[in-house]
Structure 1
Amino acid sequence: AGLAATLLVVGLRHEVDDGLRRLLAKRAAAHGPGREACLEVAHELASLAFLSADYDGAELLMAQVYDHREAAFGPRHPLTLTAITGLAQVFAATDSRANAEVLLRNALQCREAALGPTHDDTLRSLDSLAFLLGALGRHEEAEVVYRQVLHRRQAALGPGHPMALLALHNLAALLNSLGKAAAADALHRGAVEHCEAAVGPEHPLTLWAVGLRAALLEAAGLADAAEGALRRVLAGREAELGTAHADTLFAAEDLAGFLRRQGRPQDAVALSMRVLEGRQRTLGLEHLETLSSLFQHARLLQSLGRHYEASALLPRVAKGREAALGATHQDALAAWHALAAVHQAMGQYDRAEPLLRRVRQGLEALRGVDHADALRVGRNLGEVLVGLGQREAAEPIFR
């Protein structure tokens, strides 16, 4: 999954897919389709499909990998359990979350027995189970599992280890969503104080803990405290790493996103442009992180009523994402939808209509005709048709 994720991020989705399929065919001819040399390539292909939101393709490939590994190695082998976890991730992303829970509990039980309760693979399975339970609305069960992850991480690694801090953040985020804001903030505040005492207030680990707490403060409605924390992270990274470092740019991006969400887009524009220019210099124009920065900057301009400027940027985002991810990937469709919204806001209904049809068709194929996103785009299309004077064509959409 690491190779697939890396190549996807740098915008080589089609190249790696073609390369992996050629390698799979070559190894299948040489060794047979069920040999591990083939299965490891098929696993990478499944991971690439999953990251590209091709869940049907990912499920087919991962199920094949799981079946072959179980037959070859048995149900408790680490490679079999890795395939189980991958298949569970696919199920969790679709409407098969009950199946995902069965698989995750099976993998967790096997890993605890084989590796022990504090092994990283065991804790990753436990963390995945907690996330799934939360997504299923079973929050009390999720809290119990998140606390197990936190206690085991702290016992194995120490309270100031990044993985322990991440486990603490996951538990705090769940508590906050359940209305237990005071308990959640107490966890985060304690983590920050521990890091400050152990490594100093400006250490990267401390700043990371501060950044995690900022997200919680924002979710709790404590905007001033959240902004102060985000500005502290940005200032600390600028002083330690310089203004062009990737971690500094992430901190600037986090602050810009916060300001946008707080209804202060005018305060976010300069930060957003700084992030965009920094990533263009260091990563290149077509890198997916650069395109993400370009997308966010265009949306900022749109929120400020600078539609013409936004309309000049969004086609580059959409075409770049299509080239890297495929025409029906949700991120490519989101860029085309944003461009359609800009045209609609400018009264350019003739330009918005074909884009909205394209997005709706893609979302219906990706998520189904009754999915909320597809229906929302359909309503946008209906509004555009009314603007074009085509009321009869719009009526079926609004029924």
Structure 2
Amino acid sequence: MAETRLIQSRYRLLEQIGRGGMGEVWRATDEALGRSVAVKCLKPLGPQHARGDDNFVKVLRERFRREARVAASLQHRGVTVVHDFGESDGVLYLVMELLEGQNLSQLLEQNKQAPLPVADVVDIAEQVADALAYTHRQGIVHRDLKPANIMRLTDGAVKICDFGIARLGADIGFTSRLTGTGIAMGTPHYMSPEQISGSEVDHRSDLYSLGCVLYEIATGVPPFDLDDAWAVLVGHRDTPPVPLREHRAELPAFLERMVLDLLAKTPEGRPGDASELCGRIAAARSGPVLVDPHAHQGAHPHPHAHQGTHPYPNQAPHPIAHVHSATPSRVRPQPAPGHAPHEPRLPDWTRGMTTGHKAAGGTLAAPRPTPYDPTAGLTGEWTSPGMPPPVQLPGAARVERPTPPPELLSVLASRHNAGLSLGRLGRWDEAGEVHRAVAEDRERALGADHPDTLTSRYEVGFTLSRTGRADDALREFARVADGRERTLGPDHADTLAARQETAYVLGRLGRYAEAHQVYAAVLASRERTMGPDHPDTLRCRHNLAFNLGRLGRLDESYRTAQEVADARARLLGATHPDTLVTRYEVAFTLGQLGRWADALHTYREVAAARGAVFGADHADTLAARYEVGICLGRLGRSGEALELYRDLVAARTRVNGPAHPETLRARHGLGVNLGRLARWEEALEESRDVCVLRERVLGADHPDTLVSRREVAVGLGWLGRWADALSAYRQVAEARDRVLGQAHPDALASRNDEAHCLEQLGRHAEAVDLYRRVADLRRRQGSPTG
């Protein structure tokens, strides 16, 4: 193709940057959005595959389309993002994010085939394992994992590329048709024994291939580095690999053991799944620090944590027919719907937000920061590559510090990464201890306002937020924001990220007016420095819209969310995850405004779009369908809602298991709508089952458990069993008094329920007294001093 060729009047090809068995990859410009992209084109056919070989052409095209469908369904920070797919002048093309960095094969070549530093090997292993855990949960096996298909970006992130021969687990017949063509499926140096023998493969084949990759980057040679392809294949099938430490004695024992386990000849001998592998790596990281004493400092920098606003878990939908609770839960965080088990579920303050470190995958995701540079601070300057110089405030004295040893900085970077790994596993208390210790050591070595010290402080704040210590998190984020403002300036992206995190925690504390002030200030700065349509600006406006709703300014909340949704649709596309997240927020606000028919229409559109993009069983799709059920119930269409919730319970059970909080949420909706249809015996039975399971999984005082216990009381009342209902209502009221305080709206509502029950039992004096107490508490709560 000519360098000036324009595809679909939109993508201008500039230069070829890659070539492989399936196609060519071009650096290109998306002229509609003004951004750089990578365009993968089906490789033009040579004379040996002329028009007469229609079967070959058909299979190649089918495989390419398969790559597009599979890749487009994946939304994870460790997988290449796909923007578009189509056909132009007979050429199939795939538009992807443009990755700046090198694949592992190029890194080894650049390093003259010398192995990579141990810390880099471990970090790459962990990031690839995390990405594989996600893709395997989607039922996708890569089948061609090799160094050339794993990119190490300039910021230290690792991404898996090229799902061209991935297969969907349920699509066995299609895979057989592809493999029957004689086209090579996989690369000999990295193929699993079962792949070589033509047996059925599953996710454990990818684990074997990952073992081959790790073996090579840790030792400099593949596990079976033989003269010809057949000898390599026989080696995979029949020959035990040479232990890694015979090639490189300083490798940690845990790394050698892990890689050899991955290279087991049978799938049963390997780790059960990639999540198990992530756990092993994290456990090793939390032990003795992994440092390669022979590595050249700075040759392969350790990546920092995600610096700036953290990504948050996906939807935590509100309970049916009950108001949102503003009080953050102080119980153990639960897994987010549909995400890795180590991702905790936060309260509904994060409603509608997807997970992921890349902006393409989540509303609050922030760009990854500059990689850690072990030489930073050695000259008294902060010299991390790509980082703007710190702001020297007038009259501020520069503190000269002794030069920290590079080995110390490398150790601190490794410990920092260990803290991140613990966080990814949901071990937030342990992660917080690690980050706190690293922050103190960095402060002693580099100073309190050094960017690396503040990065560790930021992570401390995040772990505090995740463990329910919102007040402590607020103080930590304020400290980070002030330090970054002093050193980087008030409008620096990292300063604004810390300010935005401060606003988030204020919201969790119910301090919405203060949160609004911070969001508004951050938004003004982002608009001034980045422009109104920058992703970070739109992200902040999205959060501002949510906070407006919390302040009761529903019309403003709706208008702001609608404006953000329109802007995201224009810039990213109508079905982009960020667009759909904001449309989800628009639908929620419509519901709060009582416009349930409009909310139903919008939720249905979001659910359909998410189903097309992510799949019917994806957590985001199921969350939107849940909200469709709420709208149907509000509109009096409980029969339709009941059928929807039956399907949703089946899907949640299939995806998450019968006792998962989201499965129980769907069952709660089922019970509520049974009651609305006056099927009270069935409704009571369902509510009791859900209440028992929620108490076991979430705890007796968890808000969801109390919502279920109240639903039990409602059912008992409708069946005329008022004495039993009174006991249940009192349990709920006492728990809410204890957890939320007597004056909390939910606690007051429970006392009103109790008073109503007393009335039904003929205990009118007690009922009147309780009503008066509730009214008095409400008056005091609404007074200036109350």
Match of 1:340 in 2: 671
Do 2:633 and 2:641's aligned partners in 1 also have CA atoms closer than 8 Å?
Answer: yes
Offset of residue 332 of structure 1: 1.2
2:662 pairs, out of 322, 326, 331, with 331
Offset of residue 323 of structure 1: 1.8
Query: In structure 2, what is the Cα distance between the partners aligned to 1:225 and 1:68?
Result: 47
Match of 2:518 in 1: 187
Aligned-partner SS, 2:591? helix
Offset of residue 252 of structure 1: 0.9
Query: In structure 2, what is the Cα distance between the partners aligned to 1:345 and 1:7?
Result: 44
Offset of residue 11 of structure 1: 8.7
Query: In structure 2, what is the Cα distance between the partners aligned to 1:42 and 1:9?
Result: 14
Length, aligned pairs only:
374
Query: In structure 2, what is the Cα distance between the partners aligned to 1:395 and 1:214?
Result: 40
Match of 1:234 in 2: 565
Letter in 1 for 2:550: A
**Residue correspondence of structure 1 range 238-253 to structure 2 within 5 A:** 238-253=569-584
Do 1:265 and 1:300's aligned partners in 2 also have CA atoms closer than 8 Å?
Answer: yes
The farther-off stretch of 115-124 and 186-195 is 115-124
Q: CA separation of 1:82/1:315 partners in 2, compared to 1, >3 Å: closer, same or farther?
A: farther
Match of 1:55 in 2: none
Query: In structure 2, what is the Cα distance between the partners aligned to 1:295 and 1:353?
Result: 21
Letter in 2 for 1:36: L
Query: How much identity, in percent, do the aligned residues show?
Result: 23
Letter in 2 for 1:273: R
Query: In structure 1, what is the Cα distance between the partners aligned to 2:523 and 2:434?
Result: 36
**Residue correspondence of structure 1 range 52-131 to structure 2 within 5 A:** 65-66=282-283, 69-71=286-288, 73=290, 78=413, 80-84=415-419, 87=422, 90=426, 102=433, 104-110=435-441, 117-119=450-452, 122-131=456-465
Offset of residue 258 of structure 1: 2.2
1:260 counterpart = 2:591:
yes
Match of 1:57 in 2: none
Offset of residue 383 of structure 1: 4.0
Q: CA separation of 1:341/1:175 partners in 2, compared to 1, >3 Å: closer, same or farther?
A: closer
Do 2:254 and 2:284's aligned partners in 1 also have CA atoms closer than 8 Å?
Answer: no
Aligned-partner SS, 1:327? coil
2:498 pairs, out of 167, 179, 201, with 167
Q: CA separation of 1:204/1:136 partners in 2, compared to 1, >3 Å: closer, same or farther?
A: closer
Query: In structure 1, what is the Cα distance between the partners aligned to 2:285 and 2:510?
Result: 45
Offset of residue 181 of structure 1: 5.8
Match of 2:275 in 1: 45
Offset of residue 80 of structure 1: 5.0
1:49-76 per-residue CA deviation (whole Å, 9 max, x = no partner) reads xxxxxxxxxxxx68x9547742464996
1:90-126 per-residue CA deviation (whole Å, 9 max, x = no partner) reads 465xxxx6x7764552343345567874238525423
Offset of residue 160 of structure 1: 5.5
Query: In structure 1, what is the Cα distance between the partners aligned to 2:671 and 2:556?
Result: 36
Letter in 2 for 1:45: S
What TM-score, normalized to structure 1? 0.73
Give the number of the structure with larger relative contact order, counting CA–CA contacts within 8 Å between residues 6 or more apart.
1
Q: CA separation of 1:176/1:322 partners in 2, compared to 1, >3 Å: closer, same or farther?
A: closer
Do 2:133 and 2:274's aligned partners in 1 also have CA atoms closer than 8 Å?
Answer: no
Q: CA separation of 1:239/1:187 partners in 2, compared to 1, >3 Å: closer, same or farther?
A: same
Query: In structure 1, what is the Cα distance between the partners aligned to 2:567 and 2:634?
Result: 30
1:233-258 per-residue CA deviation (whole Å, 9 max, x = no partner) reads 11212332332333222221111122
Unaligned runs of 5+ in 1: 49-60
Query: In structure 2, what is the Cα distance between the partners aligned to 1:320 and 1:334?
Result: 12
Do 2:546 and 2:585's aligned partners in 1 also have CA atoms closer than 8 Å?
Answer: no
Query: In structure 1, what is the Cα distance between the partners aligned to 2:692 and 2:128?
Result: 31
1:355 counterpart = 2:686:
yes
Unaligned runs of 5+ in 2: 1-125, 142-201, 212-239, 245-251, 263-270, 292-407, 732-786
1:346-370 per-residue CA deviation (whole Å, 9 max, x = no partner) reads 1123433443343233223213455
Match of 2:254 in 1: 35
Letter in 2 for 1:226: S
Do 1:108 and 1:125's aligned partners in 2 also have CA atoms closer than 8 Å?
Answer: no
Offset of residue 153 of structure 1: 5.1
Aligned-partner SS, 1:70? coil
1:12 counterpart = 2:119:
no
Do 2:457 and 2:476's aligned partners in 1 also have CA atoms closer than 8 Å?
Answer: no
What TM-score, normalized to structure 2? 0.40
Match of 1:298 in 2: 629
Letter in 2 for 1:364: E
Q: CA separation of 1:47/1:320 partners in 2, compared to 1, >3 Å: closer, same or farther?
A: farther
Give the helix-richer structure, 1 or 2: 1
Query: In structure 2, what is the Cα distance between the partners aligned to 1:68 and 1:200?
Result: 41
Letter in 2 for 1:248: T
RMSD (CA atoms): 4.6
